[in-house]
Structure 1
Amino acid sequence: MAFKAQALTITDDRGKTITLTKPASRIVSLYGGITDILLSLNLENKLIAWTKQDQALHPKLTFTQVGTHLRPSLETILSLKPDLILQMGKRPHSLLIAQKLEHFGLTVAIFDPQNFTELFQCIHKIGILTQTESKAKKLIQKLKAQLENLQPVPSQKRPTVFFEVRYPNLLGAGKKSFVSEIIFMAGGQNVLNHPKKLVHLNPEVLLKLNPDVYIVQVGPMNPVYHPLANRTFYQDLKAVKKKNIFLVKEEEFSRPGPNTIQAAIKLHNFLKEKRLIPQN
């Protein structure tokens, strides 16, 4: 007697029920953090397409490129006949792309983790859809253990941190960004207590905030590092005077995924080296 395979069902971060009749085996990843999760679950053989940025970050792997995270080629994706498309973020443009793909009968799951707890839920759900739930649980346990090894820092002893997303036309990471969660787990406090992910501000406002630490990401959103000491007004910042400037890779800090745990560890170690948090 044949037994019918059990359907694989999750609820994505839109609140939409996603059901597969069998484990996903032809996956298109539209976001680098999603790709990092798939690779961490050893699902290279199930991945058939990714973005141009993924190809640049993983030159030894070759998959069909479908454009960028925000502007993927619908024609290319349709031609590949995927059984699962994974996207991260709920910007209107991302949701519109998902709707167009779903109109053609394709299955799209969207995740939008705002913190590590939600990231771990995302990993677990991808594990369910790919029938690698056991591996997903082991990965989550490993990542949680790494975070738990970070030394807790009392609120009154946390240094203030500013995270530069882009310059010029200064853009900082706000309270609702995943970066803010990384800063907190590392022992710092985001100086931008603004209820948005990304915040535009001018140098005068930054001077008033006067953070203890200034982080600059380098990557597609901020391709060229402009030394802070050479910028007008920036010489007066506490972080610049004390040389508490930390250059980081955009793909580690601004893409929710397994790499963000390493980002928190690296920032924690930087704060320790600079004696900005307790040493034990």
Structure 2
Amino acid sequence: MSVTAIIMAALVIGVVGIIVGFLLVTAGEKFKVEVDEKEVAIRAELPGNNCGGCGFPGCDGLAAAIAKGEAPVNQCPVGGAPVAEKISAILGVEMTATEKQVAFVKCAGDCDAAQEKCNYFGIKDCRTAAVVPGRGTKKCTHGCMGFGSCVKACQFDAIHVVNGVAKVDRSKCVGCGACTKVCPNGLICLIPDSSVYVVQCSSQEKGKAVKEACSAGCLGCTACVKQCEHEAITMNGNVAVIDQSKCVKCGKCAEKCPAKVIRMREL
């Protein structure tokens, strides 16, 4: 092979390399994805549980929303105040303090209080039992079935079935809301951690029908509504509901409740 041929081959390869490099640079500029440095920094501070408790599709979705100003810095229920403070520093904004929310089970119908009507031999899952005629073993079809769908949904070991009814460990609960979404009876809600008096019943039955099914049921008598001086208690059908934003924690409703369904929360 002549020297001229070698030089020509080298030149061709060099020209092709330059053209390919130019095309790659042009394509990179045209199709590059802009990266928001603040979004990346925020994502690094989020815990990475991807629980969905923030209302966004995982931590990536929340990081993008916070960076765009579409979500507050304290939107992550798992990270809480410590993570919110770090995100506030990244964005250079002042964090607004919000109270921690925790899950609460609106049922006290455990094995001692609730009457049973049958034996259940199906899959131990509340959502499955809910579609079976009779909805579980208890006479009260509004209460906790005790099969633990909420337990399986919780990533933080904060809820367990004790004596036939779900109970929340407030010290472990981060308020992600995963348990609230899987309960077929809608028994679990989020309330301020400072809440003192609660109504542990969701039955829509009244009087005698309630007591025939569960000794811990609300009678729907409205005595608590009449007793409250702050309009913090209303009736949702036949069961009392406390508006925690209005409750002054005086305890008069609990004293007046003949069924003792309104009680102080367990620590």
Q: TM > 0.5 between the two?
A: no
- Alignment TM-score, normalising by the size of structure 1: 0.27
Structure with bigger gyration radius:
2
Between structures 1 and 2, the one with greater helix share: 1
- Alignment TM-score, normalising by the size of structure 2: 0.28
